Structure 1
Amino acid sequence: MSVNIDSRVVAPGSDDYVDEAWQLKEEISRREGVLKQRHDFFTDAYRRSKVHCYVRNDELIGFAAVRRDGYILFLAVAPKCRGEGIGKRLVARVADDHDSITCHARTSNENALQFYEHLGFEIKRRIDDYYEDGGDAYYLKLGSDVGITDKISELMRR
């Protein structure tokens, strides 16, 4: 059985991998209490985004849905595949297309906050009641102030 990871890009307007992405998001939501978006919101945002996907043995193991301005709407890596550099590679793929990358992360999501901090993202502000369930968020940014391509290249060498 091959353990190669295939990189795929889903163009805006496509449904490719949307069901698999929803299932992965829901698995993470059940385990960790994050990524709590409603199905209609998720699928609409997914379809409007460019989505970078990593697939291993025909299974979606990670994805990043990104708006045209470099805002990451969703970033998810299968729990069983964490620690393999997939999240870092997804962010690097986004960095290939954008001078800066932004996203929101739940203030209570320590895993995500540590991950983004490790990549060099900076917390720009806190937003109370950002999420539909009343959860608070941090707005994070990587790039512009420093060369994002250089920063990601350095990151990938670690």
Structure 2
Amino acid sequence: MSVNIDSRVVTSGSDDFVDEAWELKEEINSRVGVLKQRRSFFTDAYRRSTVQIYLQDDELIGFAAVRRDGYILFLAVSPEYQGEGIGKQLVARVAKEHDTITCHARTTNEGALQFYEHLGFEIKRRIDNYYEDGGDAYYLKLGSSGSIADKISDLVRR
């Protein structure tokens, strides 16, 4: 990662960077059509989460909003920075705080599914009509076998 990239943590209850996170999520949604939420849902979930963020020159380039139980509500990386390890680093930061990490991903979101599979997440089950628009999801989990810290540590070194 570039030396100009700064990482921060937004604590639960704060709305620091919530507008920037919404804009990034919407930019990704406009390109690939997979991050569809109402703004009020997104904002409420963001404020109830601990959010790991990456900034470059004070511009939000990636974030992971995570519940206390290690469930990733939102993970987004600016399209200009995808493929540079930022998503992996965000998941690694989440892994430092949790024994297991879980999330949902649309069954049609091939990019996300490949990303999570590469990190070692396993599909635990399919949930039909999970999303508000009727889309189906996979429930994914990391940490069910072996040490999650070891898995992520190995990944970050690659």
Same fold (TM over 0.5): yes
Matches within 5 A, 1:1-158: 4-158=4-158
| One-letter amino acid of the structure 1 residue matched with residue 98 of structure 2 | H
| One-letter amino acid of the structure 2 residue matched with residue 61 of structure 1 | I
Instruction: Tell me the alpha carbon deviations over residues 116-138 of structure 1, each in whole angstroms, 9 at most, x when there is no partner.
Output: 00000000000000000000000
1:145 deviation in Å? 2.1
| One-letter amino acid of the structure 1 residue matched with residue 120 of structure 2 | G
1:25 deviation in Å? 0.3
Instruction: Tell me the alpha carbon deviations over residues 12-69 of structure 1, each in whole angstroms, 9 at most, x when there is no partner.
Output: 0001000000000000011000110000000000000000000001110000000000
The percent of aligned pairs where both chains have the same amino acid is 80
Give ranges in structure 2 of 5+ residues lacking alignment.
none
- Is the contact between residue 5 and residue 56 of structure 1 (CA under 8 Å) also seen in structure 2? yes
1:3 deviation in Å? 5.4
- TM-score by length of structure 2 reads 0.98
Whole-Å Cα distance in 2 between the matches of residues 86 and 11 of structure 1? 20
- TM-score by length of structure 1 reads 0.98
| One-letter amino acid of the structure 2 residue matched with residue 21 of structure 1 | A
Whole-Å Cα distance in 2 between the matches of residues 144 and 121 of structure 1? 9
- Is the contact between residue 103 and residue 140 of structure 1 (CA under 8 Å) also seen in structure 2? yes
| One-letter amino acid of the structure 2 residue matched with residue 112 of structure 1 | A
Instruction: Tell me the alpha carbon deviations over residues 62-89 of structure 1, each in whole angstroms, 9 at most, x when there is no partner.
Output: 0000000000000000001101100000
Whole-Å Cα distance in 1 between the matches of residues 23 and 58 of structure 2? 14
Whole-Å Cα distance in 2 between the matches of residues 106 and 66 of structure 1? 18
- Is the contact between residue 105 and residue 139 of structure 1 (CA under 8 Å) also seen in structure 2? yes
SS of equivalent to 2:64: strand
Give ranges in structure 1 of 5+ residues lacking alignment.
none
Whole-Å Cα distance in 2 between the matches of residues 100 and 120 of structure 1? 12
Whole-Å Cα distance in 1 between the matches of residues 144 and 93 of structure 2? 16
Runs of 4+ residues over 2 Å off in structure 1: none
- RMSD of the alignment, in Å? 0.9
Work out the number of aligned pairs and report it: 157
Whole-Å Cα distance in 1 between the matches of residues 119 and 48 of structure 2? 26
SS of equivalent to 2:35: coil
| One-letter amino acid of the structure 2 residue matched with residue 29 of structure 1 | N
SS of equivalent to 1:83: coil
